[in-house]
């Protein structure tokens, strides 16, 4: 019996060692699997949350249902072309197209643009929508009568100046989440993050200057 006990004692550590190796192997496999899943998730999600504009850090934050309804409210009785600056996943453009607008979205993130095009096709408004991969600072918005902006505070002063220089006097600018620093809104609706401000360019100083410039001089 003593010899048998000594033999079992010698075999036991070996069995424990083999069991520990198996557990270690499974642990490595589980760790590798979780790590791979996280990498895949990061690869898919990153294009949707990275900044949409190079000059200003503007991450993609989807518009809420309340924001969309408030934007559409500010566009009631309006017509003509519409542009969404920083259009994200296209939900504002698509909602406007369903209301009869010829709607265009500019977005720097190509993944979001491709997804927007798919959503427009899925919702049956592909013919009334266009999405461009472009930096807003390199685009002229002079052809649009309705402009929607989801911005951040640090970009609003420069964008205000750009739009004032480019838009015609019959244009309306709808700002979401953050107002423009100098313009006085003609209409406001919503509360908190869902607040929307509407600005009619005919009331801006730039338009008054333009009207003076085109008024014929009269001889006294």
Taking the complete model, does pTM exceed 0.85, yes or no? Answer: no
Q: Where are the beta strands (DSSP E) in 72-134?
A: 81-85, 102-107, 129-133
Each as own residue / partner, the long-range contacts of residues 27-34 (CB below 8 Å, 24 or more positions apart, any chain) are: none
pLDDT at 54: 44
For the segment 110-165, what is each residue's pLDDT rounded down to a tens digit? 999 999 999 999 999 999 999 999 998 999 999 999 999 988 888 999 999 999 99
Is 86 within 8 Å of 63 (Cβ atoms)? Answer: no
For the segment 164-216, what is each residue's pLDDT rounded down to a tens digit? 999 999 999 999 989 999 999 999 999 988 999 999 998 764 455 444 444 44
Q: Let me know if 86 is exposed, middle or buried by CB neighbors in 10 A (0-12, 13-18, 19+).
A: buried
Separation CA 122–CA 116 (nearest Å): 10
Separation CA 31–CA 22 (nearest Å): 14
More confident call, 81 vs 24? 81
What is the residue whose two structure tokens read 């036991």?
A: 12
Is 74 within 8 Å of 125 (Cβ atoms)? Answer: no
Task: List the end-to-end C-alpha distance of the chain, in Å, as a whole number.
Answer: 132
Set out the domains of the chain in order of their start, with CATH numbers.
68-203 (3.40.50.150)
């Amino acid at each position: 019996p003593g010899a048998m006990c000594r033999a079992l004692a010698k075999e036991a550590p070996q069995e424990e060692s083999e069991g520990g190796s198996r557990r270690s192997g499974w642990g490595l496999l589980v760790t590798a699997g979780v790590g791979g899943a996280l990498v895949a998730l990061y690869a898919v999600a990153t294009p949707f949350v990275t900044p949409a504009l190079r000059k200003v850090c503007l991450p993609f934050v989807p518009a809420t249902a309340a924001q969309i309804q408030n934007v559409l409210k500010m566009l009631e009785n309006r017509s003509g072309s519409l542009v969404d600056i920083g259009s994200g996943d296209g939900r504002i453009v698509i909602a406007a197209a369903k209301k009869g607008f010829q709607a265009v979205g500019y977005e720097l993130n190509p993944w979001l643009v491709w997804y927007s095009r798919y959503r427009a096709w899925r919702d049956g408004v592909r013919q009334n929508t266009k999405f461009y991969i472009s930096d807003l600072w390199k685009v002229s918005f002079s052809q649009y009568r309705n402009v929607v902006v989801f911005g951040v505070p640090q970009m609003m002063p420069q964008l205000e100046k750009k739009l004032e220089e480019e838009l015609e006097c019959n244009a309306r600018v709808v700002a979401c989440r953050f107002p423009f620093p100098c313009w006085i809104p003609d209409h406001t609706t919503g509360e908190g993050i869902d607040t929307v401000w509407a600005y009619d360019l005919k009331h801006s100083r730039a338009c008054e200057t333009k009207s003076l410039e085109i008024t014929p001089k009269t001889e006294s």
